Amino acid sequence: MAVPGSAHLVLAPGVVHLDEPAAVFEAMLSGWGRQQRSRLLAEATIEPRVLLLRRFTSFAESHPWDWTAGDVEDFTASLMSGKTRLAPSTIRGYHLTLRLFCDYLLDGRYGWVAQCEQRFGSIPSQVCHDYNTAAHLVEYEGKPSRRPFSYDEIETLFGFLDDRVEQVARSGRKGTLAALRDAQMVKTAYAFGLRRRELCFLDVVDLRPNPRMPGWGTYGAVHVRYAKSSRGSAPRRRTVLAVPEFDWVIGGLAQWVEQARPLLNPGSRQELWLTERRQRISPKTMDKRFAFLRQQAGLAAELTLHCLRHSYVTHLIEFGYPERFVTEQVGHSYASTTAIYTSVSNDFKTKTLQAALGRVYGNTTHHDDNREQR
């Protein structure tokens, strides 16, 4: 039985190529693409990998059967130099792609070793090993500048968004609905701890009631259908419950769904966040919109839309919610991932320390007075 990605499936027998090395390399890329699709990997994963292999081949000025470990080391050095130096996590991803491709070529089930030896007199080798590739040493490798919003920054952002809606409405110009939509999207992202894709792909039917809070109507929970997926699997699903501390989002959602959104004449369309042309807001568009709004609000450039998700986790922890509840709310598989998102405020640390002092020393004020008298 032929294995997807086998050499004989992508190389026609008996065909003489004008540029045989280039033809075989293209067949390798095609075969690896088949193999990855057979694993149900998305095109968004496969295409960047193929582009990287073309880039590395151009850099090495050789084809896979002539690649060496030195080519990888020189390629890495080029990525680490100059003003466009890449992040360690990006370089490690590049190394992983090269390693996977070489493993594919060396797998006897695909027949590439025999093809290369027959055609070129040399065979591929694994050019990525533990001594020339980046190791994964820490849990989180994001930029140190990335952090949750403080409570004051949240208030500044939301205050600006509310004022902007009023200013646009008073001016009589178009854009009131767009301003209201932008404001409610940002607030919803924070109040439910959503990723940008999860936020943008919400439909009206994803707004669910919470039986324990009938007063919240159909806005007591959000059913996320486009959560982050594992490789080769469909997007995971989860239901995020509204929490009492963020119950202010209920009124905003109701206003958008029941009053504002109908003015866009959505018809049978189910997208929660629509443009004036009745199209779904894309994640890239939302990124640009948020960057503009953040700048207009006078907030730091390192505060991205995803930082609101970090804020959600941090603030739930500060409110005293159990770690397991927070982990399930944000859709993490492991509590350690949730812990990376957590960055409690100085105020929370102070209160925690005061509580500890009270448990150990009783009346902390009395204890301080006695120490001063000594």
Q: What is the pLDDT along the chain (374 residues), one digit of tens a residue?
A: 567 777 777 776 766 678 899 999 999 999 999 999 998 888 989 999 999 999 999 999 999 999 999 999 999 999 988 878 888 888 999 999 999 999 999 999 999 999 999 999 999 999 999 999 988 655 555 566 678 898 999 999 999 999 999 999 998 788 899 999 999 999 999 999 999 999 999 999 999 999 889 999 999 999 999 887 766 566 788 999 999 999 999 999 999 999 999 999 999 999 999 998 899 999 999 999 999 999 999 999 999 999 999 999 989 888 888 888 888 998 877 555 566 555 655 565 566 666 666 766 776 454 444 444 44
User: Which residue from 177, 355, 359 is spatially nearest to 273, judged by alpha carbons?
Assistant: 177
Contact 313, 342 (CB under 8 A): yes
Tokens of 170: 């008073």
Q: Which residues contact 282 (CB under 8 A, 6 or more apart)?
A: 200
What is the number of other CB atoms lying within 10 angstroms of the CB of residue 189? 23
User: Which residue from 200, 187, 267 is spatially nearest to 227, judged by alpha carbons?
Assistant: 200
Sketch the domain layout of the chain as residue ranges: 7-120, 151-343
| pTM as predicted | 0.69
The domain 7-120: what is its CATH number?
Answer: 1.10.150
* Alpha carbon distances (Å) from 125 to 2, 32, 106, 130, 133: 23, 16, 7, 15, 15
| DSSP letter for each residue of 82-129 | STTPPPHHHHHHHHHHHHHHHHHHH-TTT-HHHHHHHHHS--------
Of the CATH numbers 1.10.443.10, 3.40.50.2300, 3.40.50.620, 1.20.1050.10, which one belongs to the domain with range 151-343? 1.10.443.10
Tokens of 266: 């959505």
